[in-house]
Amino acid sequence: MGKELGLDLWIKRDDLTGFAGGGNKGRKIEYLLADVLRQEADTVITCGSSQSNFVRQLAAACSMHGLRLRAVTMDVPYDGPVGAPSGTRLVSKGGNLMLDDLLGAQVDILPDGTWDELFDAVETAADEERSAGRKVATIPIGGSSPVGAFGFVQAAAELDQSFDTIVVATSSGSTHTGLVYAFHGTSTRVIGVSCDPEPGLVAETLVPLAEGLDKITGQKKRLRESDFEYWLDWVGPGYAVFSDDGMAAIHRMARAEGIFLDPVYSAKSFAGLVGLAERGELSGRVLFWHTGGFPSLFAMP
């Protein structure tokens, strides 16, 4: 496929990381769960979409360590000012939800609403668990905290050769931030292809995550908005809703390489890579960072 796009194209296979169905979230959980264990919590609460890849991998990690996981979810949470998207979406059965049940997680599926309503529901759930006598640790959506982003600062060290450009999906932001932080000051360009229609994500989320990484690492990179390349062109109708370009990317990758993308994240980010290549905005050695999400294919309608 690289020849078709005029690129020396490589893929970082985080879909094959080997833990709980694969995916980028395991890199964050490695550090996030260590923090939970230090707190001596017995219950973990997080949130996301009902077909969340993060919830699936976190459920496995919690089960392995004897922790209870409660995930507060909506099928399609959305940004209030943008409004609820319409279009084809994953169904509320099978896929990651089946695996969550297998792993013993409690998944609450609320009616669709805004991200703020979802985050408020997390606080309500945490209060309920504390009232029941449990010691609670909360983990933000997608594991997106400076600790989670640090997992991708470390991941960058696995690359044993240089790349002109890295293309990755960005949503809750810590994967993108960790990679930008790791390659800041080098010749490698990191492009985040957004899966959410949130133009303010860089200023509101990515820059604060990078500030947290400065504290963790002791460095003073002081990343600004201009340090992040963030494309909204391939979001489609909205978060967790299929896009035409994304579905075309799923078929193209599967039939050309035997590699599966998911409709929410990796399909949109690879569609972005293809689009940028076709516009002549990519060249040389390019790495597509595959973030996983394979189980969600079994929740496609």
Mind telling me the catalytic residues?
52
* Contact status, residue 286 vs residue 163, Cβ threshold 8 Å: yes
* Beta-carbon count within 10 A of 13 CB: 13
Which residues 6+ apart lie within 8 Å of 157 measured at CB? 182
**Residue 71: strand pairing partners:** 46, 107
Q: State how far the Cα of 77 lies from the Cα of 60, in Å rounded to an integer.
A: 23
Q: State how far the Cα of 87 lies from the Cα of 270, in Å rounded to an integer.
A: 20
CA nearest to 129, candidates 161, 151, 109, 106: 106
Which residues 6+ apart lie within 8 Å of 2 measured at CB? 8, 9, 286
H/E element holding 194? strand 189-194
* Contact status, residue 125 vs residue 281, Cβ threshold 8 Å: no
By three-state DSSP, how is residue 189 classified? strand
Per the document, the length of the chain is 301
Fill in the DSSP letter of residue 206. I
